[in-house]
Amino acid sequence: MNAYTFSLCKTQCIALPSGALHLPAHDVLCVSDLHLGKSERIARRSGVMLPPYEVQDTLQKLETDIAATKPSQIICLGDSFDDLDAAASLDDDMRLWLARLQAGKSWVWIEGNHDPGPIDMGGTHLGEITIGTLTLRHIASAATAEVSGHYHPKHRVTGRSQPAFLLDHERMIMPAYGAYTGGLASHSKDIRRLFNGPIMAILTGHKAIPVPVS
């Protein structure tokens, strides 16, 4: 199996190679920082045109993970849309695709800094949610037993930087799930200050691979 199973604050977690997090005991799939509509937002604000396939690529990846894990609840951990106008401008075909993914499931949109308001896209809009022993929110706080996103962490191994989960014994930061998202290096001060102990990175890609962060 290409996923990596571990325990965080006594909750079983499975890091998928895609960057999604599966909590099997709670039948939950969590993804963070989809940034849907980023190409539209960049074109709107700067006039720079990017290939308009990032929404399709991200939703296809999400559909694959949903089919593999069959969760009853899906939690999008903030910055699901690149801004509120990007959410409003989403093509009808993409809205229908999202609606199909949501069908028969509990869908939670966690508030992010890019999408701070309720979104007319089905599901429930929350500031944070607690699943088992873990509290899931967009931006890390001083609390323990926490899963967050926001920083789009990446970790470099043998000269190559890859999106990665970062965790210690009491918190985890998830990688960005969206197709057009950059990232912040695991050694950056903004990330290191959030952890109190030794850090592990779980690299994403073809296989979820755990490596220590020196």
Q: What are the Cα distances from residue 133, in Å, to 24, 58, 83, 97? A: 13, 29, 31, 32
The percentage of residues in the chain with a pLDDT greater than 90, rounded to a whole number, is: 70
Over the stretch 155-181, which tens digit does the pLDDT of each residue have? 999 888 999 999 999 999 999 999 767
The lowest-confidence range among 68-77, 111-120, 142-151 is 111-120
- 203 forms beta bridges with 164, 209
The C-alpha atoms of residue 170 and residue 88 are separated, in whole angstroms, by: 37
Residue 27's CATH number = 3.60.21
CA distance 212 to 214: 6
Give the residue among 131, 114, 129, 208 at the shortest CA–CA distance from 167.
208
Q: Which residues contact 103 (CB under 8 A, 6 or more apart)?
A: none
**Residue 82: pLDDT over 90:** no
| pLDDT confidence band for 133 (50 / 70 / 90) | very high
Q: How confident is the model at residue 202 (pLDDT cuts 50, 70, 90)?
A: very high
* Residue 81 DSSP code: B
- State the total domains in the chain: 1
Domain of residue 116, residue span: 4-213
